[in-house]
Amino acid sequence: MSLKLNPEAREIYRSIRDEIARKLLLRGSEAFLDEFSPTTNSEEIARRQAYLRENLQRVKPEIGEFIEKVRPIHFRREYLHDRILIVNESEVKKAEALGLCAVSTDPADAEEYPLVLSTVGYGIDVELTPTQITPELYIQPLWENRDTLEALAKIAELTGEKSIAPELLKQISGIKTTMDRLSTIEQLEEILHEKERELNEKVSERLEQFSLTLKGKELLEFLSELRSGDYGAIFRHFSSVENEILEMIREVEEELGKILGTPVEIFSREELYPVSVPPEKVELIREELTRDFKVEMYLKSRELAEKVRPLIPMLKQEIRDVYRLDFLRAVKLFAEGFSFPELGANGIAFLRGRHIFIENPQPVSYVIGEKPQWFDIEGSEKVLDEKVVILTGANSGGKTSLLELLTQIAILTHMGLPVPAERVGVSVLDEVFFFRRKRSTYGAGAFETALNGFVKALRSEGRKLILIDEFEAITEPGAAVKIIGELLKVAHERGFYVVIVSHLGEDLKKELPFARVDGIEARGLDEGLNLIVDRQPAFGKLGKSTPELIVERLARKKRGKEKEIFERILKAFKNG
């Protein structure tokens, strides 16, 4: 069963979950985090702990850069419009049921399609299976996700696990030249226009270098030919340049043939300058290259698909394992320096616990319920296995933070995760209640709401941890002592674990002999007149509040008449 949490405790659980989730690199990894929601099943908690102990060590620091490169690889059964399947009448229903491409019994319908597949000897012979009809749907996703396959191979190296990725990379390497051809088709216009630009530059340079020099008799003959209307004389003198330009065009077209993988004659021979590529020729070349690419891609994919298809389930599982590994990585980062709690204790005890959401917190040690033998710190001899504790002491001394830390440790334990302490023992619970003080809410309504919440926490049996932060803040001190006293008696009778923060510790102790009173005290003022607080509770000792130290700080800060008044108040403290 799930561990029951009241709204404030659930808010702390969400904060923990969000903190781990922020460290995930892949969106799909959150599903594994959800598998670790708090449970009351001690066997399940132990199983999770064992799983994490075994697997967190597989996570190496450098693995994150490869995990974030992994993407899901989708193999979809799609309808492809670039092919037609010619079958006999008896096969039409089965072929159409595949839903992969156009189906016909008439070969005349095949004229418009680059790819013609057939079971009747017209076009490329196929069987009525997806790997025969649309093999690209198995190969192209792998090619497009080479980064993922390479990352999977590297992750396997780092974890010492086997990977199917190297074999898949080896298989799809066979279509590299074909896919390079597709890239060329996609860049066809840019390639042609670049060659056009280069050719025009060369022609322009050659024309700039050309000069017509005629002397003596040659000049007289040239002028005579022009007077007689023989304008061919001009072109005869330019023919050598024309031949050079035509040679330049042939050379460039040979280069393009090598780039495109097919002979081309694309530049006009009519207008030699500027040289240009007719748009209609661009489209004809594109259509021809695309048709050749589709046939080549189909044939190579069909050859590979039979080998690749059986490996796809293993690939999907391997990617799923990476999401789990991402979850483990996030937990390892989150739980750096944490330890696994020991289950089966009768209460909660921890050494040097550290609040998760406070930067550089002072470590504290604490115990509610049965004191383990290893819990041997200063003052712990005063701990007599009390299940009900009243926590008293200095304002801003860390009492609320301690309640939050107790909640964090309880929740993390029931998630099966390590907790922020050096050593921990936790009783498996059914419910955790954390009643945070509502600092902006007072009056009868607030009092009624709070009282209802506390009574609900006490009304049923079970293993419970109840943490209450300053109940008396919403009612009169005298009434608070009576109400809190009775509530804690009920909790004691039912064996619940309770810590209540209160400034009424002395009065409550008289009413509740079974309860322990612990205190957090301010030790004085530092050079900057800031409170010096030891956040480690003193066991069995009433913690004094801080008004006297605050008055002393103000007396030392103020000047004139204000200083005199604060000194008078301070004197009253010392004399009282």
Residue 394 marked in a binding site = yes
Spatial distance between the Cα atoms of 267 and 264, rounded to a whole number of angstroms = 9
Spatial distance between the Cα atoms of 32 and 51, rounded to a whole number of angstroms = 13
Greatest CA span in the chain, whole angstroms?
138
DSSP state letter for 339? B
H/E element, 180: helix 176-186
Site of tokens 């006009």: 268
DSSP letters, 368-404, are: EESPPTT---TTGGG----SEEEEEE-TTSSHHHHHH
Contacts of 482 (CB under 8 A, 6+ apart): none
Residue 145 marked in a binding site = no
CA end-to-end span of the chain, whole Å? 55
User: Please, are residues 353 and 420 in contact by the beta-carbon 8 Å criterion?
Assistant: yes
User: Please, are residues 246 and 240 in contact by the beta-carbon 8 Å criterion?
Assistant: no
User: Please, are residues 534 and 521 in contact by the beta-carbon 8 Å criterion?
Assistant: yes
User: Please, are residues 96 and 90 in contact by the beta-carbon 8 Å criterion?
Assistant: no
Pull the structure tokens for residue 392. 């008293």
Residue 398 marked in a binding site = yes
Contacts of 346 (CB under 8 A, 6+ apart): 369, 370, 385, 427
Residue 400 marked in a binding site = yes
Residue 421 marked in a binding site = no
Binding-site members for ATP are 393-400
For the annotated binding site, the residues are 393-400
